[in-house]
Amino acid sequence: MTPRRQRMLAVGLAVTGLAIATALSLTAFRENMMFYIELDQVAAGNVPEKRTYRVGGMVQNGTIERASGSMDVEFTITDYQNSLGVRYNGVLPDLFREGQGVIAHGRLGEDGVFQADKILAKHDENYMPPEVADSLKRSGHFPERTTP
C-alpha cells in the first residue's frame, strides 16, 4: 500500500470514528433531555407520550393524601387556572407542603394522574422554581413576596 493510500485510509477511519461518536452523543443527549411542560399544555393533551418530563406548580391546599403504612402520596398541583393530580411513591423533600412550589419529574399515566418518580421542592421561603414562577406570572397569580 502506498503512503498516499495509507493517509487516505487513516483520514477515512478518523472521519468515520468522529461521525459515530457524534451520533452516539446526540442520541444520548436526546434520550436524557428533560422537558418542562406547563399545566395548560398538559390539560390540552400536548405532552410527550414515550418520555419523561417535568411539570410544576403550587401544591393545592387540602389535597395531600398519604396512604397509611406506605410511602405513597397523592396531591394536586395548580397554576391557579389548571390543576393536575400527582402520585408519588418515595420520600418527599423536607420542605414539601401545601401552598409551596414544586417540580415533579415523571410522565402522565393512562388514568390522567401524573406518575412522578422525583419531587423537587423550593429550598427557602423566597425561592420558587423558575418554570413555576413563569407559569404563575403568565396566569396572573404570582404570589407577592415580602422582604424581611
10-residue averages of pLDDT along the chain (148 residues): 90 94 86 78 82 88 90 92 92 87 89 92 63 72 51
DSSP alpha helix (H) spans, the chain: 3-32, 39-44, 130-139
Question: Are the CB atoms for 102 and 121 separated by under 8 Å?
Answer: yes
| pLDDT at residue 128, rounded to an integer | 62
Question: Are the CB atoms for 37 and 26 separated by under 8 Å?
Answer: no
| pLDDT at residue 101, rounded to an integer | 85
| pLDDT at residue 147, rounded to an integer | 38
| pLDDT at residue 124, rounded to an integer | 55
| pLDDT at residue 41, rounded to an integer | 86
- CA–CA separation, 9 and 5 (whole Å): 6
